[in-house]
Structure formats: structure tokens, C-alpha cells
Amino acid sequence: MALEIERRFLIKNDSWKKFITKKICIEQGYLSESLDNWIIRIRRTGKEYKIALKKHIESFTNFEFEYYIPQKDGKTIMSNLTNTIKKERFFLDVEKKFWIIDRFKEDNYPLEIAEIELPNEEENLYLPSFISKEITGLKNYTNFGLTNKPFSKWEDKNLTTFKNN
């Protein structure tokens, strides 16, 4: 069984950039229609495609099963989706912990979200200086939520509230 134990945060400054070890571009779309059951996602990174099945269990733990699929199949599926999202993903090494920063594109610009995967929910987490408000579990900040209601369509999208905290 594959478990994803992940916490997510908004970012308050750009000090995270000095910890970057790698950057990739991601496009992903959803075959699911609701967050209430299993989420079915397809993701393209370069020429590789993966399909993922995700379901929230509790707190910040999800089932996550992810599989590579043939490029031809991935292109066909992606070309038939309307709810897609694009982002740059930065991998960071901070105090021997591996963080991810997603910098969203298009209708979700200028949203930036930090994520960290943990071995268990009880882990005592040190928060780097670039971390602001925790958004773990807030459905409007999930990638799926952002495909259905992009950040640019939010009534209160003033990130300066978080960037200066």
C-alpha cells in the first residue's frame, strides 16, 4: 500500500531559491469530477506520463498509487482534458529535509506552494524561514481544486497577506 504523508504551506519570501537542487516543468490534468472520492490524475513531466490514483484518508495522509503509462496514451488522455494545470517544480534540500516548491503558471500565477513529505504524521517538523501559512487540507489549494477554480478567479487573491507574514 502506498501512503503519501504530506504537509503544504504558502511561502512568504524568496529565500527558498538558495536551496534549489533541481527544477522540472509539470502539466497535469484530472479525470475525476470531485474531491469526495478517488482522484485520478495524469501528469506529464518532459516526455514521461504517469497516472495516479489518490484518496484522502485522514489529517495529511493519502493513498497514492502512481504508474507510468505509454507516451502515446498519455498524449491522448491529456489532449482530451479541460481541467489541467501547469507549474514549475523546484526540489530543495533544506537542513537535510527535501522540500518541493510548486510555482504555478497561467490562471494560477503567482501562487507558490511548499510541500514536504514525511515518514509519519507525528514527525516534529522544522519550518524554514520561507514558510508562511499552513494550507494542508484546504481543498481550494489542492491541485485538483486549482484546476476547477483557478487562483486568478478567487475574490481574495492578495498574496501579500502571506508574503509579509
Domains and CATH numbers, the chain: 3-163 (2.40.320.10)
For residue 163, pLDDT beyond 80: no
User: How many angstroms separate the most distant Cα atoms in the chain?
Assistant: 45
Residues 6+ apart with CB under 8 A from 33: none
Query: For residue 158, what pLDDT is reported?
Result: 55
Residues 6+ apart with CB under 8 A from 66: 2, 50, 51, 52, 53
Q: Which three cell numbers stand for residue 39?
A: 482522484
pTM: 0.90
Q: What percentage of the chain carries pLDDT values higher than 70?
A: 94
Q: Are strands 84-94 and 61-69 parallel, antiparallel or unpaired?
A: unpaired
The pLDDT-based confidence of 35 (bands split at 50, 70, 90) is: confident
Query: For residue 116, what pLDDT is reported?
Result: 97
The rounded mean pLDDT for the chain is 91
